[in-house]
Amino acid sequence: ETGVTQSPTHLIKTRGQQVTLRCSSQSGHNTVSWYQQALGQGPQFIFQYYREEENGRGNFPPRFSGLQFPNYSSELNVNALELDDSALYLCASSSSGRASHSDTQYFGPGTRLTVL
Amino acid sequence: AQRVTQPEKLLSVFKGAPVELKCNYSYSGSPELFWYVQYSRQRLQLLLRHISRESIKGFTADLNKGETSFHLKKPFAQEEDSAMYYCALSAGSGSARQLTFGSGTQLTVLP
């Protein structure tokens, strides 16, 4: 069984550019959630994907978008990058998005995005 | 909207001393609470959840709905407990269950 993986590990972009981050979910998991973690803060929920559909969204603008693929891997896309988008982006997978309270989320190592 | 507050950014205790990491929450519904831990150079991982009512690595946490708290406790801290600890609440409307995290407490256990 493999854990959650994310790529790339680090990324540097300039303001106004677009970025795509990738996440492979843990084997057997069908739900992926994305979080943004600014320096010194806890992770903030961006959105969740369940069976290729967006299944909930936090307080992030539409320039944050995502995809989930049939193999349950996922992408996070951010358009028109701003300086404040600099953060660690975490992906977490779980076994179901619509079930009980008891879905444990397993986190990847994160992608560190720096916007200059 | 839900909120999780961890009032201490930094906490230092000596090895063998008791430790308590505070967590308070606000949520109008029935919450599910978690503690996540991040050791140095490792990923965020689940430490424990209130519905399991279990003790992991000697840590326990009791959900107090009256005080809206979910403090993490360990009677005798060990140096390997030094890490960043996040309290999190699972909530959401409809089918999405999102985690709302506190800002974390960096625990240092001194020798």
Q: Which of B45, B51, B103 sits opposite A42 (nearest CB)?
A: B103
Whether residue B88 has pLDDT greater than 70: yes
Interface touch B96/A56, C-beta < 8 Å: yes
Q: Say which residues have a Cβ less than 8 Å from residue A38's Cβ, sequence separation at least 6.
A: A44, A84, A86, A87, A88
Q: Is the minimum CB–CB distance between B35 and chain A shorter than 8 Å?
A: no
Residue in A with minimal Cα distance to B31: A101
Residue of A nearest to B41 (CA): A109
pLDDT at B92: 61
Strand pairing partners for B36?
B46, B86
Give yes or no for B55 touching A (CB within 8 A): no
CA–CA dist B88, B19 (Å, integer): 19
Top mean-pLDDT range of A2-11, A15-24, A103-112: A15-24
Residue A11 predicted with pLDDT over 50: yes
- What is the rounded (10 degree) CA torsion for B40, B46, B50, B52? -130
Please report which confidence band the pLDDT of residue A101 belongs to, taking 50, 70 and 90 as the band edges: very low
- Looking at residues A11-17, what average pLDDT do you find? 97
Digit-coded pLDDT (tens) for B29-84: 888 899 999 999 899 999 998 877 777 899 999 889 899 999 999 999 999 999 99
Query: How many beta-carbon contacts under 8 Å exist across A and B?
Result: 69
Contact A45 B99 (CB under 8 A): yes
pLDDT digits 0-9 by tens, B91-103: 765 445 788 999 9
Check residue B96 and give its pLDDT.
Answer: 59
Q: What is the mean pLDDT of residues A86-106?
A: 77
Report percent pLDDT > 70 for chain A: 92
pLDDT value at residue A12: 97
Convert the pLDDT of each residue in A38-59 to its tens digit. Answer: 998 999 999 999 888 998 899 9
Residues 6+ apart with CB under 8 A from A31: A25, A48, A49, A50, A55, A72, A93, A94, A95, A96, A97, A103
| Contact criterion met (CB < 8 Å) for B97 and A56 | yes
Query: Would you call A107 and B43 a contact, using CB atoms and an 8 Å cutoff?
Result: yes
Tell me the shortest Cα–Cα distance from B15 to chain A, in angstroms: 25
Q: For residue B91, what is the nearest residue in chain A, using CA coordinates?
A: A101
